[in-house]
Amino acid sequence: MTQLVLAPMEGLVDWRVRQLLSAVGGFDHCVTEFIRVSQTLFPAHVFYRYCPELHQGCKTASGLPVLVQLMGHDPELLGENAAFAVELGAPGIDINFGCPSKTVNKREAGASLLKCPENLYHIVKAVRAAVPDHIPVSAKIRLGYADKELFLENARAVEEGGAQHLTVHARTKMEGYKPPAHWEYLARIREAISIPMTANGEIWTVEDYRRCRDISGCTSFMLGRGAIACPDLAARIKAFEAGQEPVKQSWSDVLGLLLTYIDLLAQDGTTENHQAGRIKQWVALMRKGHAPAAQCFDDIKRIRAVSELQEKLQQDRDNPAYQRTEDPIAAE
Ligand SMILES: Cc1cc2nc3c(=O)[nH]c(=O)nc-3n(C[C@H](O)[C@H](O)[C@H](O)COP(=O)(O)O)c2cc1C
């Protein structure tokens, strides 16, 4: 049975996006944006800020479990923070070994740890030892830092450290987010380890999913930018696997989702600046999934007042031309 995971995406997939995308359907669980652990055991409010779902059984409103993701370099400190997150209700801990950010990597966290598989081993082992046995610990890696030389060693280190699950973004740190993703390496990792594995990278369409599945041999997939560009991508994939016709979102449906997002952000007390920024960011990313998003982005990019933004989105939502549920993915 295919498993689909909504990717952690810092500055993009906040808890309201998790709420909205998990309600559209197709996903099996979500992961928080990374919480960067560098010097201290965080107080509870930090965990609640990144993962407000901790107040509701650590599930999204539609019932999907949310794993808490930690990133850092100090095994003991990561362990302490992981144990506290679990005390607060996290159903699992994911450890980030893939972040390419310069500031993060300068301080020896994220993807830079991939230069030495021992790093991964010690961190996973410490986190595993710090949380109760029934709580799964997982890790998310890339294929390497500058090259792919250590891709198997890093995967094995995660397994030997005691993780229950591994997610692999099929690119090195240096490859950033540039296509292609090297799904063929995933098959080799899958054969080298015995813990279950999730494939990640460059799945934008059902056809990408099918190719990634066939090349990697995986049954679990993490969707990042593809699910932002096309919010019903996970539902389409699940329908494809079930041999059913998916109920496809029209551009009008997508605009309805964005309008709900504004309401939810306002409910959370965020500033208008934040709300407008998030909407523009999302619409910009939707240009890869929905043809009308390009015009919409041009129309809204200079709007600052949220009321004006809402008016424009409402106008388009109610435009009959955008209510057709024809296939909106330009690439398909
Ligand atoms: C804006 C942005 C923020 C991200 N933040 C995180 C993060 O907090 N934790 C993490 O493990 N990966 C993070 N990633 C990586 C994604 O989870 C995913 O591995 C990557 O986007 C490749 O998948 P995709 O091709 O489906 O987007 C981020 C990616 C982007 C583009």
Top-confidence residue, 296 or 109: 296
Residue 109 above 90 pLDDT? no
Each residue's pLDDT tens digit, 274-314? 999 999 999 999 999 999 999 999 999 999 999 999 999 99
Please say if 99 is a catalytic residue: yes
Q: How many helices (H) and strands (E) does the chain have?
A: 14, 9
Mean of per-residue pLDDT scores for the chain: 95
Q: 202: number of CA atoms within 13 Å, CB side?
A: 18
Q: Is the CB of 8 under 6 A from ligand 1?
A: yes
Q: Maximum distance among all alpha carbons in the chain?
A: 58
Q: Is the CB of 226 under 6 A from ligand 1?
A: yes
CATH class of 251-322: mainly alpha
> Can you tell me the distance from the alpha carbon of 264 to that of 40, in angstroms, rounded to the nearest whole number?
31
> Can you tell me the distance from the alpha carbon of 154 to that of 107, in angstroms, rounded to the nearest whole number?
19
Q: DSSP labels for 262-299?
A: HHHHHHTT--HHHHHHHHHHHHHHHTTT-TTHHHHHHH
Residue 332 above 50 pLDDT? no
Each residue's pLDDT tens digit, 40-87? 999 999 999 999 999 999 999 999 999 999 999 999 999 999 999 999
> Can you tell me the distance from the alpha carbon of 30 to that of 59, in angstroms, rounded to the nearest whole number?
9
CB atoms within 10 A of CB 112: 20
Q: Which residue's CA is the nearest one to ligand 1's atom 19?
A: 169
pLDDT score recorded for residue 101: 76
CATH of 3-241, one of 3.40.50.1100, 3.30.70.100, 3.20.20.70, 3.40.50.720: 3.20.20.70
With bands split at pLDDT 50, 70 and 90, how would you rate the model's confidence at 89? very high
> Can you tell me the distance from the alpha carbon of 307 to that of 222, in angstroms, rounded to the nearest whole number?
35
CB atoms within 10 A of CB 134: 8
Of 107-116, 146-155, 264-273, 291-300, minimum mean pLDDT range:
107-116
Does 289 belong to an annotated binding site? no
Q: Where are the domains of the chain?
A: 3-241, 251-322
